[in-house]
Amino acid sequence: MISVAMEPKQFPEYVQAVQDSGGQVVPLTSDVQALIWLDYSNPDGLEKMLDQNPQIEWVQLPFAGVDAFAEVIKRPIRFTSAKGAYREPVAEHALALSLAMMRVIPERVKANSWGRQFADSLYDSEVLIIGAGGITEELVKLLTPFRAQVTVLRNKKQPMPNASRTLLIEELDSALEKADLVIVACALTKQTQGLFNSAKFSKMKRSAYLVNIARGPIVNTEDLVQALNNEEIAGAAVDVTEPEPLPDGHPLWSAKNIIITPHTADTRAQVVRLFSERIRENVKAFGQDSGWVGEVDPNLGY
């Protein structure tokens, strides 16, 4: 029987997932070597727990992004995250936001008169996706019926299946100049913190749209507000913001051509179902010492 600790509290769905893989959830003692950590907002608590329990060999983290645990994951133990687990709902949300922006839905839902006849189409468009994880893999599939020319930017020159081309992140500026739609789907790291700023917006077409379903701090919020209000880009849709939650009255709420969703690309119900499956997979992998899913690379930071 595989013994797994779950902190800081136990959730029945996750306890069941452990049991489904032949494990049991137990209090954390000196004999327990596996830990499911569920509090993304408390990396210091995890660090303290690991200091007190040097026998722990594996930690399952709760979200796809592990930026909050940047220091913790440098420890010489195995960390797995939820990366790829939420790929389907997040990719679906990115597509919905993209279509809404290109069909000027923000303008139409506020209208009280017939207005202009305008729309951009995803069909045969140039789409640029930043990041090459599971969300991007899913997005490329969703974009296929639109005959979009999809360019993926990543850290290594390794082709993304079904994408039109794959470039290195260092080629971002030249790629921005051609894109009709830019989707941010990368991890938050030192390299991507503040990646989209006024300099990057100036490289984009004035007719281009930005969608961010990754992490808020990848986009400089003040620069985004300025780019929208000065019509440097055609519009933006974000599911994540900096700061988050976005305070009432923040200038981004009233910026031109903006859609803001409150980090709902994956809802609580979706997360519980999909993270339960990740727990099943990795508890089984812990027992077999193989088949790990979502393993974190401390050098890359995700």
Q: Which residues are catalytic?
A: 215, 244, 263
Task: Sort 82 into a burial class: Cβ within 10 Å, 0-12 / 13-18 / 19+.
Answer: buried
Write b or e for each residue in 84-122: b if 16 or more Cβ atoms lie within 10 A of its Cβ, otherwise e.
bbbbbbbbbbbbbbbbbbbebbbeeeeeeeeeeeeebeb
- Complete DSSP assignment for 49-65: HHHH-TT--EEE-SSS-
> In 3D, which of 169, 142, 152 has the Cα closest to residue 300?
169
- Complete DSSP assignment for 19-82: HHTTEEE----TT--EEEE--TT-HHHHHHHHHH-TT--EEE-SSS--GGGTTGGGSSSEEE--
